[in-house]
Chains A and B, each alone.
Chain A
Amino acid sequence: NAGVTQTPKFQVLKTGQSMTLQCAQDMNHEYMSWYRQDPGMGLRLIHYSVGAGITDQGEVPNGYNVSRSTTEDFPLRLLSAAPSQTSVYFCASRTTSGLPSYEQYFGPGTRLTVT
C-alpha cells in the first residue's frame, strides 16, 4: 500500500493563479480531508468528504473547492491564489467502518508559496 499520496510536494504560485493539489489513497477509506498548517500552528480543517459524491466544509473553507468523484481521489482546488494561502497542505484519510476509531492517515504534505 502506498497509503496517502500528495502531489506536488512543492509549488510556487503568483497571486490570482489557480491550481489543484492532488490527493489519493489506496486503502479504500471512506473519509478524506484536507488540512492546512501555518508556521508554528496546528492543523486546520479545510474540507472533508465522507464518501464519493459527498463533501462538506471545515473551519477554513473560503478560497478552496473540493470534489469527490471516486473513493480514491480527493483534489483540492485553489480558485484564485492569495498570499494568505501560503501554507503546508495535508491530506488525510480514514475508514468509517468498524470499531470507534479516529486513526487518520496523513500524506507527506504540499508546501505552497503564493507570491
Chain B
Amino acid sequence: DAKTTQPPSMDCAEGRAANLPCNHSTISGNEYVYWYRQIHSQGPQYIIHGLKNNETNEMASLIITEDRKSSTLILPHATLRDTAVYYCIVRATGFGNEKLTFGTGTRLTIIP
C-alpha cells in the first residue's frame, strides 16, 4: 500500500472551512483515497473516498490532485463536533486487499 503523510495537528475556527492535506506520492493507479475520522475514543467513522475525480457528500469534499500524489479533505463549515483525528488511507479494493492501515492521522481541533 502507498504510504500517506499527514500533519500531526491542525486548528480551525468554528464556521470556517477546514482543509486537511494528505500526501500519497507513491499511490498506484488502482488505489483509492479514503478518509475516516475518530471522535474522542469512539470507533472510526467513514467520511468519503475517491479514485481520481473530486468527490462530495453530505459530510465533506475530497479534492485529489491531477497527478493523484496528494489530496485535501474539506469540511466546509466546521463545527465543534468536527473535532477529531482524521485519517487518510490509500488502498486498493478487492479480495486479498483487506488490511486498512490507519497511521496516526491529523488531530483537528475546532476553536470556538
Q: Do A and B come from one complex?
A: yes
Interface, chain A (partner B; CB < 8 A): 4, 31, 33, 35, 40-45, 48, 50, 56, 58-59, 88, 90, 92, 96, 100-109, 111
Of A44, A88, A102, which is within 8 A of B91 by CB? A102
Of B32, B45, B87, B103, which is within 8 A of A102 by CB? B32
Q: List 16 A-B contacts (CB under 8 A).
A: A42-B101, A42-B103, A45-B99, A56-B98, A58-B99, A100-B32, A100-B94, A102-B46, A102-B93, A104-B100, A105-B46, A106-B43, A106-B44, A107-B43, A108-B42, A109-B41
What is the CB-to-nearest-CB distance from B56 to chain A, in angstroms, rounded to a whole number? 16
A-B contact sample (7 more), CB < 8 A, given A50-B95, A90-B44, A111-B41: A42-B103, A50-B98, A58-B99, A101-B49, A102-B89, A102-B93, A108-B43
Interface centre among A35, A100, A105, A108 (most CB of B within 10 A): A100
Contact with A along B25-37 (1 / 0, CB 8 A): 0000000101010
B54 within 8 A of A: no
What is the bound-complex CA distance between A100 and B97, given in angstroms? 12
Interface, chain B (partner A; CB < 8 A): 32, 34, 36, 41-46, 49, 87, 89, 91, 93-95, 98-105
What is the bound-complex CA distance between A35 and B103, given in angstroms? 13
The answer to whether B105 touches A42, judged by C-beta atoms less than 8 angstroms apart, is yes
- A42-B87, A42-B102 as given contacts; A96 in contact with B43, CB under 8 Å: no
What is the bound-complex CA distance between A7 and B98, given in angstroms? 24
What is the CB-to-nearest-CB distance from A73 to chain B, in angstroms, rounded to a whole number? 17
Interface centre among A33, A35, A102, A103 (most CB of B within 10 A): A102
What is the bound-complex CA distance between A101 and B51, given in angstroms? 11
What is the bound-complex CA distance between A48 and B101, given in angstroms? 13
What is the CB-to-nearest-CB distance from A29 to chain B, in angstroms, rounded to a whole number? 13
What is the bound-complex CA distance between A100 and B30, given in angstroms? 11
Of A33, A43, A107, which is within 8 A of B102 by CB? A43
The answer to whether A103 touches B100, judged by C-beta atoms less than 8 angstroms apart, is no
- Residues in chain B near residue A45, CB distance under 8 A: 98-101
